[in-house]
Structure formats: C-alpha cells, structure tokens
Structure 1
C-alpha cells in the first residue's frame, strides 16, 4: 500500500417531486414526494448475453428480487477503453432507458456477474501518488452524468457529492442533484447512478454457486433486523488501518446509541471467535478470511483496506471475493494501486447508514468521500437488513379480466416508530404510471394497454430520511376488444442444449407476428398463430425462466399471454450439430436516441459461440461496432429518421448458417413527443385558448406557466426539465387524442394589466416550446 500525500448542470428543482405553486391561472395539483430508496423497480440489471453463467445468475437474481422485465438489459458490460465506453455503452444504456420509459426512476445500475472487473482509463484522472489507469467496471456507469468532466480531466480526489458529512442516512435518487451530501438544485450539484457489480467470475473471483448463495441470503436478510455486532478492527498496519482508525469510536457509539451493537477491537486483523458479524471493517493486505474461525451474518458488508483487494489481475493480497465466499452480501476493493487516501475507501459511517436502514448500495456510496473511479463494489446493492419495509396491500385488485376504467385502492403499514406512509406509486409492466398520496386511489384507463396479462406493482414509500419502499406485486388481465394470447412449451425442464418447442397462439386477426419474450427481449418468433418456434436452453440461460407470448396486430395492439415458467439446469447437456435458427421481428423506436436491438438466434452448443453478421444495414440509422459474437447491435438513429427501416442478419456456427432474417424498425412515433404550444391573445376577464400539437398520443399532458420568466426546473414525475422559473399548473391534466392534440380553454382572471406570463406544455420526458404572452 503506497502512502498518499496529505492533501488529500442543469438546474433542477431542489425537491424530488412535482411542485406547482398556485398563482393566477387555473388550479393546483397536489405535490407528491418522490419514491427513492432501494427496490428492484429502481434497478437496471446489465447482463452479458455471451456468458451462460452470467445469464443463469441474472435469471436467479430476477426471480429472487422481482426485477421487472423491462429493467433487464442484455449488453456486454465492458469496453476496450473509457473513451469507447462513453461512445458506446453509455449512450446505449441511457437511450435504452429512455426508449423503455423507465429513465425517470432508475437509481441503480447493477452490472451482472462478469468475467471483467475494470475498463482501461489512462490519462483522465490525475494523482500525485500513483497513476490512474483503470476504472472499476460499474463505476463507468456511475459516471454517466459526468463523463464530459471525466474526459476533460479530474483529480483522483474529486468529491463525491452524495458523500455524507454526518450521520444523516438520506435516500439516494439519480434524478436529484447532490451537493455536499444533500439534495441541491445549483449548478454545483452532480447526478450519479449507484454503480455496483453482482459478482466477478474470473480467476480469483467467486464461483457461480457462491454468487447464487449470496443473492439468496442477501434477499432473505431484508427487513429482519438481525442480531449481531459491527466490528471495527484496528490493526498494527498503519498504512492500511491508519486511514480509518480515527473514525471508529464515534461510529461505534452512534450505533450503540441507536440500540445496536458495535465494537472497536485493537490489534487484531479479523474478529476471530466471533460468530455474529454484521459488518467488519479492517485494514490489512492478507487477512485470512477463509481460515479464521468466525461467522459472517447474512446481509453483512465487510472490507479490508489494501491496494489490490479488487485487482484480480494479480494474486498479491487477499481478494474481496473471499468476503462474499464466506457469507458477506457486499464488499469493496480497489482495482489498482489507489494509495491510502482515506476518501477512496468506505468511511466507518457506512455501517451507521446501513444500520439506519439504507440499502447496501446507498450506504457504501454515501460513505465514499471521493468519486470511486477505482473502487469496485461487489454484491447485492439492494440488501437492506435494517429497513422498516412497508407492508402493502391492494384489496380491490381485480381477480379476473377487466375493461374500461378501474380504480385500485392501495394501503400500507410500517413498523417504523416515527415514519408514516408518504405516497404510493403504480407501475404497469415496469413503467411508473401514477403517484397518489395516502387515502387516495389509482385511476387506471385499461384501454391504454393491449389486451392480455400485464405485471402490476404498487410501491409504498415512507416519509423517513430513508424513504423506505415496500411493494405489492400482482397481475392484471385486460380484455377490452376480446383478444388473447397463449404460450405452450414442451418440455418444461431441461439443460442448455435442450430444444424447447414453443407453440404461440391467440385470437385470430390481422397478425403481423407472434414472439416469445424472455426478460423483455425477443428470443423466438412466428409469422402467424398456432405455429411453433424452437429455442434452446442457451437462448435464455439456465435457472427459473419466465416466458410469455406477445402478438403484434396490424392495428398496433400488442397482446400478451400469461407467464410460462421453465426450469433449466446450468449444464451444457448434449448438443446436436444442427444449423442455428435466426428470428426476425418488428420493433418501434420511441425517441431519437441510441438503443440496444437484440439479434435472436437459437443454437444448442455453449462451446461453439455463434457469430452474427449484418447483411443489410439500416438506411436511417447506423450500427455501432460490435464483436461478431455479440447477439445484439446498438442502433443509433439519424435525427431525421421517419417511417420504416430495417436491418438483416445471419447467425453462423461451425456446423452451419441460419437463414437471413429482418429486424423491421418503425420510427413512426417520432412525429409525436415534439410538442408545440400555441396561445391565443390573452385578455383579463376573458377566456384564452392553449393548443398543443405533436404530443405523444393518448398521454397525460400538463400546462404550466410562470409569472417569473424562463428558468430551469426539473420535474421528476415527468422526467422533464421545464424551461420556466417557479412554474405553476394551469388548468387540469388532460389527455392528448390519437393525433397528439389537446386544447385548454381557460378563464383569465380579471387582474391588473398588462401582465407578462410564460407558458409551456409537458408530457413524460417531453416538453413544448415556451410561449410568451402579455395579458391585456
């Protein structure tokens, strides 16, 4: 361990909610607190589709944690360099979040189990002690909102603005700017993702079974308030223990004052003979984690401050993976020589934040004084053993098919001694649909969804600093036009080489295609109903695998079946030398940003990776460079793309080639979401007309105004930045029609004139021009 030297954006609203002030025009809308904290609807899981073990672990994590399908992205997580990451992975992830309409609530980016643990990043970060040449793999995603600053050059001691300067355990939000440890709307504030990694599977890392076990005991620990002790070990190694020793006593006392147990032990590396370890913080190069008589409790976070705990390129020093192998839910280590800056390692307050109810991911990031360029966090970031998790019910949830408008009545309770339930969020198929306060109901217009089965989640959040969420999960079956879909698969068990025959059927009509979906991506298709498609265990990866049929009709409706579950063993099986089968499909692009397009192909031999060849390039977009074995491409649409487009591809193995198939792309939605607001001349005491065109069709639309002029106010509920200063709502929320049109006729109060006003319309992730008007 090298000793370090001693010298160690856009304007957003300062609260995570929509706030409209009641000023002159129209009415008001109740303010709703943002739901932050740690739950799987706030997490994006990135899965390497070229690694069967990574896919197996991802399937298990999805099952255990209830990760929504739309929150799983199949993308090779690493890149050749940081510059390549910024040009490739970063826009692909951000654009896919936007296209999936989940960018308003993703706080965590969890890199799945991987054979990689860093990305080369030479020349960006200055350090007076040792050159910075690597970024920890998940840290690249954490930096997504500040990549321009990184490319321009920063210090290795660049401050993490979420770092807590005191014991306040504040829930994290990626949509919120942070400055000096608190939410802030100034230009000095910074946004982040919580970037962590589920596991490292390479040499000196963890085995597949160790990662699977970690997932199980981490989730099981949530909300259990386990009995045990946090151990803070002061060792005789001044370079590795010294940077944190002076933090221990205050944190030990703070935990004890809250009713917990903590000890500051001197002159030992590990708490040998202790079998109640809720956390361990030590400093040593080679702690004998495997050979010490001790028991780490489920949910524990443990780390040892040293140079190479997270550097799996060298056998020197004990690796952080040993903590995971011995029962910890998370650990932290450096991927190269960091020097012993205390700010590069978790502060002792990490365990205080954890004990107060933050998630593991929140607690670690809040305890890092410096941006963790080199700091790798392994484990399950959602682990929260000390959280008072609300119990949520929806007693009037439908148990049969529904149509038209329905209401849902959420209720929740919490065991938190001083917190109340603050708000409820409704998610349909992973998209946040509505937020209501306690004692209110959700109003759901089911005609806005296709017939069939849809995942429904209600999340309650309390009003504590931790904003702890709890969830109720269910399924809603919609039947407005009498359509249905079904999926039958035989067999229902197998291994990676097993051929699964999928029969896709449904209501007759003008069908474009039927497809089998796994975790939101297409894995097989047919051109009609009652037809079969073949997939193999390799298509989905092993584990408990949830699949459904989706039928695309010519009128645009997508009808989904109920879930069919397979059990697939993570063994290669006995492959048969057959040609691969490629599947074409259709997709619609919602916004003009990059996104990941899967290239579905079925094959049975894990030892013979397929290669994917693009035969015909899209005309109105470009494809980012990709490895030949990547079963996807990142599509970058032209800014003026319109109408239809396509690409064709072919899959090849050593035994043969697939047919050439087409991915048909529609940009038709692009005519929408580019709102234009027109305002008629306004006169006091008379009606004025406000017209919006080119909005998203059938979408909630808000009209805002300001008497203060233009500015910038971020509205998390809409994931949009209004170009108004201190905006207020004008009139009621309205829905656009099928052409994206909506109009308000509002009475202008009889006020003193002339009066200046600024107006703007907004939908989710979209805003109009600002219309200036003088009221005469």
Structure 2
C-alpha cells in the first residue's frame, strides 16, 4: 500500500469535493465520545432488492435460485445477463452496456442490487459495485491515489437510497463455492432471528501505514441494549475470540482467522490495497473473511493509498448497523469515497432490525 501525501486525506482535489468539513468534525467528535447510537432504522426489505444472475455461469444460476428462495425475492426482481468467461475485470464500454441491461429491467421500487457471481469484480480501476452505484470514474485510473468521488449516501439516514439519492446500492455475492455461498446466505438469514451476545473488535496494528482508521475506532465498553462489547486492541492478531460481530484491522495479511468464531451477520474487513482483488494473490482477498465465517466484507480493487475515506469508517458502520440497518445499507453508509471499493456478502442480514 502506498502512503498518501500527509495532507491529501483531508485536502479536496481540484476535481473531487470532500464531504462537508462539519460532517468530518462531527465524526471525530463521535469517535472521541464513543457515541454509536442513532434513531432506530428499518432495514431494506426483500422486495426492494434485485438479484442479477449470470446465465453463463452455472454457479451464479444455482446460488441465485437458492438466494431467491430463501429470501423471498420477487420474480420481477430477478435480472438475467450473460457474461461468458468469468473475467476478473471488464472495460468501461462493456460495463456501460451491462449496467444499461440491468437498469432497464428494474422497477422504481428497487433500492439495491445484488450481483450473484465472483467475477467480474472490477471495471478497470473501479470496483464493479462502486461503478454500478456511483457511476464509472475513469479519471481515477490515471491516479488511483487521488481523492474519490464523494458518496451522497455517506452517513445518511436515508432508508431509500434510490428514491432519495438516485443511487441503487450494490453488493457482490461470491459463488466460487456454491455450498460456501449457500452457507453465507444462511448466516445472513440467521442474523435476524435473535440478538446474541457479541463483540466488536478494532485492532491498531504495527503496520502504521494501514492504521489510518484508528482515530475513528469507537470507545471501548458495553452497549447493553445490544448485548455488545466493544474492544480496541494494539495488536497484529485477534486470537481465539468466539463472539465476533465486527472485526476491523489494517494488515496486508490477517492471521488467526481459523481461531475465531463469527456470529451470524458479522462484518469484517482489513485496510490494505488489494483486498477487493478477490482472485488475486498479492494480498489477502476479502473472500477469506467470508470463508472464515463473516457475513460481509469490503476491499479495494486498485491502489487507493491509505485514505481512510476509501474504507469503512468504524464508528459510522457500527452506529448504522446497531440502529437496525441491513449489511448493504450500513456498509455503504460507512464509506465516503467508495468508487474503488468492492462490497461483498449477504446484503439483507440485519441482526438489529427493528421489529
């Protein structure tokens, strides 16, 4: 991971506006105070989600059918496309046609889209989820460490992103293993049944370049109404925790995942350059989190430098998740500049959904 110019993470570039300064100041104050509660929110519903199936990929077809059945996705919300060859990256022109094909089949009530495949996961230097929701940004490809396009959904209270902001949230449900994908779906569904004792773990590691989120870690302590304990550690490895709901760290490779137990609905991600390069091998793929038992994760597909704005903000993510938002809502609300970021997992998981 390249280290950003010390001023670049807070200085707007000529072409990209920063989130409002008052909002950033408020986030810092929230982190310092450990404030993580927001008014209760209703999570995204199955009828507001569309699923996109790659008919050229048998695994996509099988997993999409399972997901639709388990989540009760309406038949009208199933979109069929054809992407032969499972390319890891596609170009801007091909993506434009794909997006037009998907959008043409969606009704106005659809607020989010789930792409059911592992690849493609990138559009040139953009993540496919970032490009789909915010629009493809080719300017980043000449300087991937530049500031990203700000998301109007960052830290939003909106429950209808398409209606309110003109954005359809997007997430990828990986299908490298059909059984693994089905297990992931089952974990997401299990998250909605009852509140279980859980822990949120935040690690400030010895890798200083990847610790730019540490200033946004929530205050350690108990959140009694959610049966949650927040733990902040100065350590490279979380070892032996059996109640993991949230795990956020900064490392190129995360050790000890086989010693952990993730509760249904768990969120886990690591700040590094290429976690979103799902099938690459230069750094740990975000797929490893799902394989270890997490329900959702996030990673960038091209060198982002260590701008915290390009990664999930710990306090924002936890606040919205505990308030009852679904995985896809809470994760998207937590990233200020998400164009290079790939959101993966089961989008409707909502352990604290309002009832």
Compute the TM-score of the two structures, normalised by the length of structure 2. 0.82
* Kept after mapping to 2: 8 A contact 1:139/1:196: no
**Residue of structure 1 equivalent to 2:111:** 107
Give the 3-state SS of the residue equivalent to 2:354 in structure 1.
Answer: coil
Match runs of 1:85-96 below 5 Å: 85-86=95-96, 88-96=97-105
Distance 1:140 1:283, change over 3 A: same
1:308 equivalent to 2:274? Answer yes
The C-alpha deviation readout for 1:199-237, integer Å capped at 9, x for no partner, is 152xxxxx2211110001111211422211111112111
**Residue of structure 2 equivalent to 1:248:** 217
Distance 1:94 1:220, change over 3 A: same
The C-alpha deviation readout for 1:436-477, integer Å capped at 9, x for no partner, is xxxxxxxxxxxxxxxxxxxxxxxxxxxxxxxxxxxxxxxxxx
Distance 1:379 1:153, change over 3 A: closer
The C-alpha deviation readout for 1:144-176, integer Å capped at 9, x for no partner, is xx55xx468896422111111xxx754242111
**Residue of structure 2 equivalent to 1:174:** 162
Q: CA deviation at 1:321?
A: 0.7
Partners of 1:309 and 1:347 in 2: CA distance: 16
1:60 equivalent to 2:105? Answer no
Match runs of 1:441-520 below 5 Å: none
- Select the residue among 326, 330, 334 that pairs with 1:363: 330
Partners of 1:248 and 1:80 in 2: CA distance: 35
Give the 3-state SS of the residue equivalent to 2:76 in structure 1.
Answer: helix
- Select the residue among 133, 136, 150 that pairs with 1:142: 133
Partners of 2:243 and 2:140 in 1: CA distance: 44
Give the 3-state SS of the residue equivalent to 1:246 in structure 2.
Answer: helix
Q: CA deviation at 1:249?
A: 3.5
The C-alpha deviation readout for 1:457-514, integer Å capped at 9, x for no partner, is xxxxxxxxxxxxxxxxxxxxxxxxxxxxxxxxxxxxxxxxxxxxxxxxxxxxxxxxxx
* Kept after mapping to 2: 8 A contact 1:234/1:264: no
Partners of 1:341 and 1:85 in 2: CA distance: 26
**Residue of structure 1 equivalent to 2:187:** 217
Match runs of 1:27-426 below 5 Å: 37-76=43-82, 80-86=90-96, 88-97=97-106, 102=107, 104-120=108-124, 134-143=125-134, 146=135, 150=137, 156-164=147-155, 169-177=157-165, 191-199=166-174, 201=176, 207-241=177-211, 243-250=212-219, 252=220, 256=223, 259-291=226-258, 293-348=259-314, 349-370=316-337, 372-389=338-355
Q: CA deviation at 1:270?
A: 3.5
Give the 3-state SS of the residue equivalent to 1:231 in structure 2.
Answer: strand
Partners of 1:152 and 1:325 in 2: CA distance: 34
Distance 1:364 1:95, change over 3 A: same
Give me the CA root mean square deviation. Answer: 2.3
Distance 1:169 1:353, change over 3 A: farther
**Structure with greater helix share of residues:** 2
Give the 3-state SS of the residue equivalent to 1:64 in structure 2.
Answer: helix
Larger radius of gyration: 1
Partners of 2:118 and 2:268 in 1: CA distance: 21
Give the 3-state SS of the residue equivalent to 2:163 in structure 1.
Answer: coil
Match runs of 1:589-600 below 5 Å: none
Give the 3-state SS of the residue equivalent to 2:66 in structure 1.
Answer: helix
Partners of 2:213 and 2:140 in 1: CA distance: 28
Partners of 1:266 and 1:53 in 2: CA distance: 39
* Kept after mapping to 2: 8 A contact 1:110/1:138: no
Q: CA deviation at 1:284?
A: 0.9
**Residue of structure 2 equivalent to 1:675:** none
Structure 1 gaps of 5+ residues are 9-34, 121-133, 178-190, 202-206, 390-776
Structure 2 gaps of 5+ residues are 10-40
Distance 1:387 1:223, change over 3 A: farther
Give the 3-state SS of the residue equivalent to 2:223 in structure 1.
Answer: helix
The C-alpha deviation readout for 1:730-767, integer Å capped at 9, x for no partner, is xxxxxxxxxxxxxxxxxxxxxxxxxxxxxxxxxxxxxx
The C-alpha deviation readout for 1:310-341, integer Å capped at 9, x for no partner, is 11353122211111011111000111211110
Distance 1:220 1:257, change over 3 A: closer
Match runs of 1:712-731 below 5 Å: none
Give the 3-state SS of the residue equivalent to 1:232 in structure 2.
Answer: strand
Q: CA deviation at 1:356?
A: 1.1
* Kept after mapping to 2: 8 A contact 1:108/1:195: yes
The C-alpha deviation readout for 1:11-48, integer Å capped at 9, x for no partner, is xxxxxxxxxxxxxxxxxxxxxxxx97411111111100
* Kept after mapping to 1: 8 A contact 2:271/2:311: yes
Partners of 2:157 and 2:256 in 1: CA distance: 29
Partners of 1:386 and 1:316 in 2: CA distance: 36
Q: CA deviation at 1:359?
A: 0.5
